[in-house]
Amino acid sequence: MAGDILTSDPITISQIEAIARQKLSDNVYNYYSCGADDQTTLERNQADFDRWGFSISIVSKIRPLIILVLPRVLRDVSQVDTSTELFGYRFPFPVGVAPSAMQRLASPEGELDVARAAASMGINLTLSSNSTTSLEDVMSARHQIGKETAAPFWFQIYLASDLDLSVPLIKRAEEAGYEALVLTVDTPVLGNRINERQTPLILPEGLHLANIQKNGAKGSRKPSFNREIMDARTAKQANDLMQAAGSTANSASLTWSSTIKFLRQTTDMKIILKGIMAPEDAQLAVECGTDAIIVSNHGGRQLDGVPSTIQALPGIVDVAKGKIPIILDGGIRRGSDVFKALALGADFVLVGRPALWGLAFNGREGVEAVMNILERELSRTMALAGTAKVGDICSAFLRYTEGGRLSKI
């Protein structure tokens, strides 16, 4: 059976993940795939595209409701246009690649192959600061495909406790041509990632975090301070590790009043906040003048037991729609998931793990296969739902069931 999977021509993302699971070592697959604690948020991210948990009243329990696409017929869908515009660029479809660390663990070319796939297809890529390829080399790969025609790339960053230590990396990204800085805001400390604690992932010989370590630097093959702090068993041990990490650890003191101001003073790149889950924070992001927000729970890898991203989306749309772009990251596995996210008010979505499965499956061609699957599924969903262009997609095409009856969103 395993041989059949490995030699098959996959036509769904779940099939590509099955192949990636066969190819990757257990510790690498678990690092990419697992979430925090009991992984309830990780599971909810995908499951809630089919069902939501709605709070029916203040005193009632949250109970699942099935969310469905309600198709309309006798509408001209002979020419379906999946393209959309974001920050002045016309993307062929509203899906980009989310930042994920250490992609050369999935294939030898890693981030380079993802960049080549994104550039060739005209889609957006956000590069993780914890990449195993330098940000300059990734941008060079984009330029080799077509500097003028490739979509904009963005750069993700964690700010250090000493903000000045992050300035050189921000400047490098700006000088290399990245058009937006994606600040991850949900990681003052790492979540309780059980699999990483039981089997710490250490980069093999020849790989390093190319943006923040020198190749062959002493200590480059050890777990980071942030991961050592995650595994601390006592308050004293955690405190000692934090003292040793000093100004290089992820900052736990970022604030609305100072952080956006610091970034605006440091760079002319667009500022995007990744990790927004509360409507109140979406409102603050608007007030602080950020350029966009990414609704994300870090793929279920930070605080377990929080809402899924699709569940959090409507409340954020209520306060931010039309003011700044709203991007959703988490749980997208089908084109119909993209449709539902757009119908609920997202302007764009990102996929992380699916791109990694494609990379492990077949390098650049595997990443392209994943994105082509999502585009074809989205186009087909749009045609069958009766929407000829992305701008037509709205909540009128969704229903949820409660007590066997269909109700409007």
What's the pLDDT at 147?
Answer: 67
Where do the structural domains in the chain lie, given as residue ranges?
Answer: 2-66+84-189+254-380
Name the residue among 60, 24, 78, 36 with its Cα closest to residue 356: 24
Binding residue per annotation — 298? Answer: yes
Q: What is the bridge-based pairing of β-strands 153-157 and 180-184?
A: parallel
Burial degree of 168 (CB within 10 A; 0-12, 13-18, 19+): exposed
Q: How confident is the model at residue 6 (pLDDT cuts 50, 70, 90)?
A: low
- Residue 270 and residue 173 in contact, taking contact as beta carbons nearer than 8 Å: no
pLDDT digits (tens, 9 = 90+) for 210-252: 998 876 555 456 667 777 778 878 888 878 777 777 777 788 8
Binding residue per annotation — 274? Answer: yes
- For the structural domain made of 2-66+84-189+254-380, what CATH number should be given? 3.20.20.70
Binding residue per annotation — 128? Answer: yes
Host H or E run for residue 156: strand 153-157
Q: What are phi and psi of 73, to 5 degrees?
A: -120, 175
What's the pLDDT at 268?
Answer: 98
Can you tell me the distance from the alpha carbon of 225 to that of 246, in angstroms, rounded to the nearest whole number? 10
Q: What are the angstrom distances between the C-alpha of 364 and each of 6, 79, 84, 260, 281?
A: 17, 29, 24, 35, 36
* Identified catalytic residue from 44, 116, 142, 298: 298
Name the residue among 25, 45, 32, 123 with its Cα closest to residue 313: 45
Q: How confident is the model at residue 63 (pLDDT cuts 50, 70, 90)?
A: low
What's the pLDDT at 2?
Answer: 44
pLDDT digits (tens, 9 = 90+) for 271-322: 999 999 999 999 999 999 999 999 999 998 889 999 999 999 999 999 999 9
Section 344-371 average pLDDT: 98
Task: Please tell me the total number of residues recorded for the chain in this structure.
Answer: 409
298 an active-site residue? yes
Can you tell me the distance from the alpha carbon of 197 to that of 213, in angstroms, rounded to the nearest whole number? 22
Residue 306 DSSP one-character state? P
Contacts of 219 (CB under 8 A, 6+ apart): none
Q: List the alpha helices (DSSP H) in 92-212.
A: 111-121, 135-146, 167-176, 194-198
- Residue 112 and residue 124 in contact, taking contact as beta carbons nearer than 8 Å: no
pLDDT digits (tens, 9 = 90+) for 164-217: 999 999 999 999 999 999 999 999 888 888 888 888 788 898 999 999 887 655
- As a three-state string, the secondary structure of 237-274 is HHHHHHHHHHHHCECCCCCCCCHHHHHHHHCCCEEEEE
What's the pLDDT at 217?
Answer: 55
R_g of the chain, CA atoms, integer Å: 21
Q: Say what the pTM is.
A: 0.93
Sheet of strand 51-55: strand arrangement: 51-55, 62-69, 398-402, 405-408
DSSP β-bridge partners for residue 54: 63
What's the pLDDT at 56?
Answer: 35
What's the pLDDT at 190?
Answer: 85
Binding residue per annotation — 392? Answer: no
Binding residue per annotation — 364? Answer: no
